[in-house]
């Protein structure tokens, strides 16, 4: 069975545990890269990551995006929204539809 994870600072991802997601508290880019590689090999289908942390590990996310699983989805953290998640959704729509409809 596939699992779902949330990665980021404690304040931003702690609540996801109540929904049954596995939560991982990470603030350092190097630690996040190691964790992403581990989760990639542990049957995680979806990984939510705070936008702030995703910005720091962009190269790792690009590598993972070429794989069928896991899907890594940037989410806003409690410290603000960078727009990265919205931009990622917009890019996916453009790839799927062929034009910007968002």
The residue segments making up the domain with residue 75 are: 3-97
The answer on pLDDT for 60 being more than 90 is yes
3-state SS, residue 61: helix
Question: Looking at residue 17, which CATH number applies to its domain?
Answer: 3.40.50.10580
Asked if residue 73 is part of any domain, the answer here is yes
**Tokens 């779902």 label which residue?**
4
From 13, 68, 12, 17, select the one nearest 40 (Cα to Cα): 68
Which residue in 57, 17, 68, 69 sits closest to 33, CA to CA? 57
* 22 is a domain residue: yes
In 1-102, DSSP assigns E strands to 3-8, 22-25, 44-50, 71-75
Are 4 and 39 contacting, i.e. CB atoms less than 8 angstroms apart?
no
Q: Which pLDDT score is estimated for 91?
A: 67
> Does 83 fall in a domain?
yes
- Confidence (pTM): 0.82
Within 10 A of 88 (CB to CB), how many other CB atoms are there?
17
pLDDT category of residue 102 using cuts at 50, 70 and 90: low
38 assigned to some structural domain: yes
Kindly state the average pLDDT of the residues 75-79: 83
Q: Is the pLDDT of residue 85 over 70?
A: no
Instruction: With respect to residue 102, please indicate whether it lies within any of the assigned structural domains.
Output: no
Q: For residue 87, what pLDDT is reported?
A: 67
Average pLDDT over every residue of 65-83: 83
**Average pLDDT score over residue span 55-79:** 90
Average pLDDT over residues 45-71: 93
The structural domain count of the chain equals: 1
* Residue 18 placed within a domain: yes
């Amino acid at each position: 069975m596939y699992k779902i994870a949330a990665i980021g600072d404690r304040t931003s991802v702690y609540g996801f545990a109540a929904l049954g997601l596995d939560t991982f508290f990470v603030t350092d880019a190097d630690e996040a890269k190691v964790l992403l590689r581990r989760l990639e090999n542990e049957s995680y289908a979806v990984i939510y990551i705070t936008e702030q942390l995703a910005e720091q590990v962009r190269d790792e996310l690009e590598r993972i995006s070429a794989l069928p699983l896991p899907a890594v989805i940037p989410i806003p953290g409690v410290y603000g929204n960078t727009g990265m998640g919205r931009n990622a959704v917009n890019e996916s729509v453009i790839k799927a539809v062929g034009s910007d409809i968002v």
